[in-house]
Structure 1
Amino acid sequence: MDFRIRESRKPQGRGTLVREREEYFRLMDQGLTNTAACERVGINRRTGKRWRHGRAASGRNKAAKPVRPPLVPQGPSRYLRESDRIHIADRLREKASIRAIAAELDRSPSTISREIRRNGTRPPGSSRIAYRPHAAQARANDRRPRPKPGKIGQSHELRNFIQDRLDLRWSPEQICQALRAGFPDRPEMHVVHETVYQALYVQGRGELRRELARALRTGRVRRKPRRQAQQRQPRFRDPMVMISERPVEVADRAVPGHWEGDLIIGKDNGSAIGTLVERSTRYVMLLHLPNGRGTEAVRDALVATAQTLPAHLKRSLTWDQGSEMGRHREFTLATDVPVYFCDPASPWQRGSNENTNGLLRQYFPKGTDLASHTREYLDAVAAELNGRPRKTLDWETPAERLHKLLAA
């Protein structure tokens, strides 16, 4: 609407005065003098000067601060503005769809839907949400200040649940999935794993005990970049069958009975524990090596473990090129299980086993003597690991998945 000078100078409400101020400052921004701008708006020169510079208190006149109309933000904004919320309210009264409103504001439909759900109000006895733009803006402003109290710190029940699972060496992602499964109708008990990590790592929060960080598989109390894996390229007397010659059925994990193996090494390379992981179920078996990790000791431990498995779970074994597998041919002759070797410096070709070795480091820290552990303790560790829910198994445990295979 074009600006027009009002004929009557009597008070006519705040809206008229605001429009006059906006027009005055618009003319001043165009380079007009104070006198010319005041004449066009229809106000006294002293009024325009007071709007620009304010006024000091004198006599019965109170002090007045400089006046400048609120600037209308230009360009896109990450957050919805009050003008956007007014537009949403107007269009909702016109029965416009969410997608139509989103297109008009150049926003995602989910942004508009979430705005109405979070900042709208539901009158008592009504099934529809009433959306009032100024109240919605006030709610958004109240939520914006940072930092906010953490969700874990506000709930003793949630904090105790997470602490108990961390004591059992569960990962944050496993804990968060267990929360959703155990409390499906209580969203206040649902968090994402990043929330747990921040409660452990970020200084000054105090939401979880700092010593719980040592229960994580890395044992770190702060985050740091991943380290590159060591490269080893030993040689064997008997020819190796490389992973490129492994049957295709092994790669898709559809057929059980294909295993990945490796050693975790103890203090000063003087002790070791063998690890076997079934690719389809992620079931873990540990090799007891109290007499060292020589080729004969590893061969005998592998043969003894393979003899405990049913025939349909003995299809193949994938290993890296570690020197401990120097007698791989003898193992194959004794068990009829072919051994395939990964390419040098390619640990991702045994991804399940590498992940499992990381889990096992919670029980067998680096720099410790692994020969001191008994066969019974290794079995207990494997049972505890096989009892953890896994995301890759749709949150079933390896023991449950293996039991289904055996029952079938």
Structure 2
Amino acid sequence: MSIREASRIVGINRRSGQEWLNGRAERVTVTGGNKAIRAAVQPVVGAPRTFPLNPRRGELRAPALPVSSRYLSEEERIRLADLRREKKSIRSISATLGRSPSTVSREIRRNCNSDVRPTHPSYYRPFAAQKRAESRRPRPKSRRVETCLELQAFIQRRLDEKWSPEQIASILRLEFPNRPEMNVSHETIYRPLYAQPRGGPWREIGRRLRTGRSLRKRRRRPDQRTPRFTRPRVMVSQRPAEADGRAIPGHWEGDLIVGAKNGSAIGTLVERSTRYTLLVHLPNGHSPGVMQTALLEAVRDLPADLKRSLTWDQGTEMAHHHAFSKASGVPVYFCDPPPT
């Protein structure tokens, strides 16, 4: 569109539209007549685009604070919209902008115009996308638990009944599946509880949580973290040397394959000598108990000569490795963790 037509649609004067398009200088206050004011508001080449506050007084809006280059700029969003109109692919757009394909895909998904079809030219509007991104940028943001009184009352009632935050977060998703404002994670419930000041309500936190702790237990240091396995593990360095040569059958290597969004999983057992593969059916998840039962079912009919060892990675699905070895007679060895 022309500047005149765009200004008419927005509802501003054509000159204002021209000034919005070309940008203005930094905030200044000029005195000395209209000529001085007109000279002060002339566009400056290379200056950031700014919108006028009161042009008659010679007041101009100061340029916004610099934004980190890790975020998409307005110019990049305009270029992205142009490339979409040219029907370029996501990877082609990302190569042109010098950004990751996931960054471009996420930008289109989060800041699109949901009122039209994805193939419509107005599906992604750069200036509207810039405005949405800027509205999400200010910090700190208000907590959903503090702004939604219904959610606050629901959580309060369950805490009084000694429900854990994990249980509350789960029941919220079940009772309010179509209300995103009522769905929060357990961490969102923990934060306002532990953010209380030391006096007054702070003393009541221990009574509201089943753990009885008024302070969070830090788990940043490796020696303070809860161990992944309760029983000691036998590392692969202690595995019999015959397993490395692949000459004697009966030594297996296992792994877990997880589908998209953890929606499905299947286990694999590969014999190192013959490459014979067994698939471990996991229709009910891959928790340690389920994995133990499925592995026992998979190796139940194997002869004793083919139950020499099983090597697995550090996955938590093998937390019941000791019970599996005791029931099946197959010793389990674990791979060394990757270097940090």
Range into which the TM-score falls when normalised by the shorter chain: 0.3 to 0.5
Give TM-score, length-normalised by structure 2. 0.44
Give TM-score, length-normalised by structure 1. 0.37
